[in-house]
Chains A and B, each alone.
Chain A
Amino acid sequence: MTALAIRGRRRASLPWGWLLLAGLIALVGLGFFVGFLPTDKWAPFLRPTTWRTFGFGLLSTLFIGGVSLVASLTISLPLALGRVSLPNPWRWLVATWVEGVRATPVLVILAVVFFGLLRLGVDFDTRQWYAIIGLTIYTSAVLAEILRAGIVSIPRGEVEASRSLGLSYWQSMRHVVLPQAYSRMTPAIVSQLITLIKDTSLAFIIAVPEVVGAGRSFFNFYGNPVETYVVLALLFFAINYPLSRVSRRLEARQPADQRVRVGGEEDLVATEVP
């Protein structure tokens, strides 16, 4: 290693991360004991009914995230292939759609979908669909761009070789290019999943029931908004932190020249940098 940070042999160091965590827990305990953390604001989190409320919210959050992910993965394939393989007016159309959607804030897309569907008179009983449609529009465009970058990164020679072996264009796409592209984009997909899970919280703004909404009805009753937001943040952290570890590990395993780079997404940027 010739990195700037490491000079000579690294000294054996104390497990500072764990010590910090232990210190934090001790501080919280002391906070309750001495009283600078108000016990009455935190006590409601110990009731089983609280966790039923949060549990239902979390279930809805995971439902929105899961369905959006599957739908986005499905729709991103024709979008990416359209941008790679279609003749020109169509290719241009698909590219404009993908780039336009990627450059628009998710929340704006959610608002337009919600407002537009209401205006058209579409009324879902399961309100989660408003969020799923909006998040799918956005995430499918990002995944399409990731997949396109993956397809383009496969050397031309591979397609030429498989074509000369008698495979049709689509056969070589199906059996040679796409499997490699998907394997290269796996870390990016996982990091986009983190973005997606964070973005499900935006469904709260269009009044779709999910975990932030559950938190709000909870603190409206107990009057502890700040504490509830901390707990909500910890819940999301518990889901996303393992995912971000997985994403970084996969990324580190990939040779530098096989990394798929796509901009405009903070989680993707953070995964890409070594």
Chain B
Amino acid sequence: MFEPVFANFDFFVDGYVTTIVLFVSAFIGAVILGTLFAALRVWGTGPLRSIATAYVEFFRNTPLLVQLFFYATFLAQTGLTRNPVQAAIVGLAVYTGAFVTEVVRSGILSVDARQLESARSLGLSQLQALRYVVLPQAVRTVIPPLGNLSIALVKNTAVASAIAAPELLQQGGVIASRTFRLDPYVAVIIGYLSLTLTLAFITSRLERRLAFSR
């Protein structure tokens, strides 16, 4: 049992590390994109707001697989990069960013408008009011759904194997087809569970703490 896994342990560790790299970089990218577009959706005017809405609607209603295929071929054709990990990071960040936009937007809207108005009338500038009054309150509503999105993102990194990014599923699949055994896949599942269950635990802890201090 598990001999092919232990015989190729480094191979699996490489995949595990790549999965974590994909997750962390795509998550940072998604939060930046999401915050930007959420600001456009809330405070943007005219065409800017429409662009932000179009971004959210288009990318959340399209399969991640098709998006990743698109970036992989497009980036290779234009000569920007042939590295599947980079293409996957771009694709995962843009896809997840659409969902983060919705979460951050609802976080901003959950803060009462009078909070901003009274902060302004106390002499804070618009940016100061956002930084010290609105943001700390918005973060509280945003954290639990953001934690859920991070779990979904870890699961979605597996799709990067379709463009041959050497992440956990890809590495495990190579060993499985080479040895024609199922236990490499068991190792892959354990690898993903270790990440998703940890994130689920952290999310529920944060959720409880934020709920108490309210």
Contact A108 B61 (CB under 8 A): no
CA distance A237 to B70 in the complex (A): 15
B161 in the interface (beta carbon within 8 A): yes
**Which secondary structure dominates chain B's binding surface?**
helix
Known: A2-B112, A269-B152, A273-B145. A111 touches B185 (CB 8 A): yes
A86 to chain B, nearest CB (A): 23
A101 to chain B, nearest CB (A): 10
CA distance A193 to B54 in the complex (A): 21
Contact B192 A108 (CB under 8 A): yes
Known: A269-B99, A273-B106. A112 touches B47 (CB 8 A): no
Q: In which size bucket is the chain B interface?
A: 35 or more
A205 in the interface (beta carbon within 8 A): yes
A46 in the interface (beta carbon within 8 A): no
Contact A111 B149 (CB under 8 A): no
Contact A112 B180 (CB under 8 A): no
Chain B residues within 8 Å of A115, by CB? 176-177, 182, 185
CA distance A98 to B151 in the complex (A): 16
Interface string of B1-22 (1 = CB under 8 A from A): 0000000000000000000000
Known: A3-B109, A17-B53, A204-B65. A108 touches B185 (CB 8 A): yes
Chain B residues within 8 Å of A5, by CB? 42-43, 108-109, 113
Residue of chain B at shortest CB distance from A24: B54
Residue of chain B at shortest CB distance from A268: B148
Chain A residues within 8 Å of B65, by CB? 201-202, 204-205, 212
B55 to chain A, nearest CB (A): 11
Chain A residues within 8 Å of B158, by CB? 105-108
Interface string of B67-92 (1 = CB under 8 A from A): 10110011001000000000000000
Chain A residues within 8 Å of B113, by CB? 2-7
- Residues of chain B in range 101-142 having any CB-CB distance to chain A below 8 Å: 102-103, 105-106, 108-109, 111-116, 134
25 contacts between A and B (CB under 8 A): A4-B113, A4-B116, A5-B42, A5-B43, A5-B109, A16-B47, A19-B47, A103-B193, A105-B157, A105-B158, A106-B155, A112-B182, A115-B182, A198-B62, A199-B63, A204-B162, A205-B161, A225-B69, A244-B60, A263-B151, A263-B200, A268-B148, A269-B148, A270-B103, A273-B106
Additional 14 contacts, C-beta under 8 A, given A16-B49, A265-B148: A3-B113, A4-B42, A6-B113, A19-B47, A105-B158, A108-B188, A201-B66, A205-B65, A225-B73, A237-B61, A240-B61, A240-B62, A241-B61, A269-B103
A residues contacting B by CB (< 8 A) are: 2-7, 13-14, 16-17, 19-20, 100, 103-108, 111-112, 115-116, 119, 194, 198-199, 201-202, 204-205, 212, 225-226, 229-230, 232-233, 236-237, 240-241, 244, 263-270, 272-274
